Amino acid sequence: MKKDPFLYVATFLMDGLIGVIGLCVPLLALRLGATYDDLGAIGAVSSLVYALACLVSGRLSERLGYRRSMALASAAVALSVACYPRATRILHLIVLYTVTWVCLSCYWPALQAWLGSGKGRRDLLRGLGRFNISWALGLLVGPAVGGSLYAMDLDWPFLIAAGVIGALSLSISLLKFQTPSPAPVSEAPPEDASDHFLRIAWVANFSTFFATGTVRSLFPKFASDLGIAPGPLGLLMALIGLAQVGAFFLVARTDRWQFRLSPLVISQVAGAAGLLTLTFGASPGVFAVGLLAQGALTGMTFTASIFYSLFVRNPGSRRTGLHEAVVGGGFFLGPLLGGIAAERLGPRSPYLLSAAFILLAVGLQTYLHKRGQRPALTGQRPAVGG
């Protein structure tokens, strides 16, 4: 079996089921009496541990092998998810959700590095586009399915997710895959150009996932307090994935954004504006605009971060681990500070905080770009790849 198509399917299934869990865990927590602080803690603690685990899981997966790391990690995810229906306290959910994300820290860096191995510039961009569309489609479908399943039975979302992820683990272990020939060394980029934009992309991606973590952790309670039912709420949250699919499709069709600052800045300013609709809006239609803008922003910054992480002479899961650590770090800080802001300043304040954080990050990226510019980077993209 060809490796890349299987990895796209594995990506869709895993992130789709994580989308189911990501919606249903806050809803289950609300049934157990969760406050904004509790919801923030569930997202923050799991994300902090995920970010820290990714700092070492990349190196670990290179020792174990990408395939073995994915198989073991997905099996552990399935076991942790199967335990959610047994939770009777908020602490149980915090521990289980944290265990789930520790296991995922061994899954995603290995998958990304395995996907990117042996690819030149054009093939890498194309492969990352399909990978990104796969996980975005998963997050598009997952919350909608999760909301419907949760409305029928509280246990179904978790038990179904555990069963499918367990089957995925067996498939990774048992199937035989074809290995493509590596790309020519001449397609590798100048190290200074890739490193320069990698740092900028990581800053952008960190602020983006600060906002995304805030929205995904806190918006379900905010919407529930406004009287939005689980079904429509799941559809609203799925709009983030819909916008991501569109953004990933467009970004993968051109390399004109590569080694340029302006596309990142424009997408972040638009995302900050979208967050203001969550701050001041009152209807599902207005909220939809903000969620779509957040999804489009994620599409741009995530692609830039993972592309610069893999487009190097010796790609591997160490850099994809750092890429995922940035994502986890944003998911940690956003729910933590957002939950505190919601409790102290009101339920709309987290989205204003997120918009301000993104704009501050834009300022930092501009500073880093001006400080790190070199003649080879001024006015043109490096002549690398195909």
Q: Phi and psi dihedrals of 358, rounded to 5? A: -65, -45
**Separation between Cα atoms, residue 354 and residue 367, nearest integer Å:** 20
**Separation between Cα atoms, residue 304 and residue 284, nearest integer Å:** 31
Consecutive 10-residue averages of pLDDT for the chain (386 residues): 92 94 90 82 83 89 89 96 93 93 93 85 88 87 86 91 96 83 54 78 96 88 85 84 88 89 94 93 89 94 92 72 91 86 92 96 93 54 40
Q: Which structural domains are found in the chain, ordered by start?
A: 3-179+187-372 (1.20.1250.20)
Taking the CA of residue 114 as centre, how many other CA atoms within 13 Å lie in the half-sphere pointing to its CB?
Answer: 29
Q: Phi and psi dihedrals of 257, rounded to 5? A: -80, -15
Q: Phi and psi dihedrals of 178, rounded to 5? A: -85, 140
In this prediction, residue 381 carries a pLDDT of 44
Sign of CA dihedral 81, 85, 86, 88: positive
Which residues are CB-neighbours of 6 under 8 A, at least 6 positions away? 171, 175, 177
In this prediction, residue 358 carries a pLDDT of 97
In this prediction, residue 254 carries a pLDDT of 87
In this prediction, residue 157 carries a pLDDT of 93
In order, the DSSP letters of 120-167 are -HHHHHHHHHHHHHHHHHHHHHHHHHHHHHHHH-SSHHHHHHHHHHHH
In this prediction, residue 189 carries a pLDDT of 55
**Separation between Cα atoms, residue 182 and residue 226, nearest integer Å:** 54
Cβ atoms of 323 and 129 closer than 8 Å: no
DSSP class of 147: H
Strands (E), 253-381: none
Residues facing residue 178 across a β-bridge? 2
Residue positions counted in the chain: 386
In this prediction, residue 373 carries a pLDDT of 67
**Separation between Cα atoms, residue 16 and residue 361, nearest integer Å:** 29
In this prediction, residue 317 carries a pLDDT of 72
**Separation between Cα atoms, residue 277 and residue 348, nearest integer Å:** 10
Neighbours of 285 (CB within 10 A): 10
In this prediction, residue 247 carries a pLDDT of 92
Which residues are CB-neighbours of 274 under 8 A, at least 6 positions away? 289, 290, 291, 292, 293, 294, 297
pTM of the model as a whole:
0.83
